A and B are shown apart, each in its own frame.
Chain A
Amino acid sequence: MQNLRYEAPETLADATALLAAEDGMARVLAGGTDVIVQMHSDLIEPDLIVDVKNIPELTEIAKEGGAYRFGAAVSGKTLMLHEDFNKTWPGVMDGVRLIGSLQIRGRASVGGNLCNASPAADSVPPMIAAGAVASVIGPNGARDIPVEDIVTGPGQTCLDKSEIVVSFLLPERPPRSGDAYLRFTPRTEMDIAVVGAGVNLTLDDDGACTAARVALAAVAPTPLLVAEAADALIGTKVDETALEALAAAASAACNPIDDKRGTVEYRIKVAGVLARRAAAIALERAGKNQ
């Protein structure tokens, strides 16, 4: 990193131009809780750092009609302090609250958590479950990409090297909706998910599930959107039988590896356990959201 350059552009156009012009390795810096670790552990040696925190579009939280849009570089801490967002998307915030420690959340952003492209990122499954869409900009213009399509493999995204995730749009919530995210870690804090499960569901007036999305972390090379698990809930009253089917579908969707954080066997089993527990919390939250 002898020749590292640091730039902090104030517009999206300047940021993408800087990235496009860089021949060597460029990295976008938001909270830095992954990029700086990788730099100082000699895992990467970037030639250019583009700090995007001075670009307004990346740091705002705003309502668009009934939907929420928040900047990709908004820190976890800033989201935690936004009362209405917490009320609207408690499951997304379950994930955000689990990223690292308070110190880490003081810097870490959902955009960074996503673009680091770890299968174990805690904010990603509840964002996928929420149906969040990422707004991406590059030298050739803007495009919208569902969050579940961003990560293509461990450490890999579908983004071009000069593209930036600008913000996320979370759709308007129908009444009687609830979401939740649970992860399993051996420690209570400061840990990486061995398994994570996010559930987002909507009930009708009779308490039957009309819509659901279920996403899993750390059980495959990328975070997973599991349609079969959602199908197990839709049309049911999210009763014992449905939860049983959800757990089975979640476990069946896993394609994990043995690593230092967990075994294949363990991850498959606990994915079902967590999906079920998360669904129970989402159900309770939906019931309260009349």
Chain B
Amino acid sequence: MDVKKELLEKIDEAITHYPESKRSATLPLLHLFQEEHGYINDETVEWIADKLGLEPINVLELVTFYPGFRQSAPGKFHIRVCRTLSCAMAGSEELMEALCEKAGIDRSGVSHHHPIAVGKDGKFSIEFAECLASCGTGPVCLVNDDFYEEITPMNAGKLLKKYN
């Protein structure tokens, strides 16, 4: 697998944060690769395992455990809508429906193991997230790394228009 020089530098720097155990760098490395490729594939799992002197399963078991890692490509812009109590009370279900409608995303195939739905054109993908820790300004969502508060269903279209 070809790993770009800049990414490799970041990886080697991240490993220095854990002088006691390289294994601790697994999560940071997974984040770096996911930022680069959008998701984690088998090749990446094997590369990280090799780099850190682990078995591939040691890496894969993290990918499958943590909701923050994806095993298939999301849209160009990935939306996470908070589903938990205060946001739900403020209307996050309705926000999810409005976002899906405006972005042309069908969530009917979503399940516990496949929480992400991707639009046909691949521009947007969406999933529910558990508490994003901004309960006083619900409903809230993340679009890639951008955080939005008090997004009403009526503003769903406006939010999506920011992304092209």
Do these two chains interact?
Answer: no
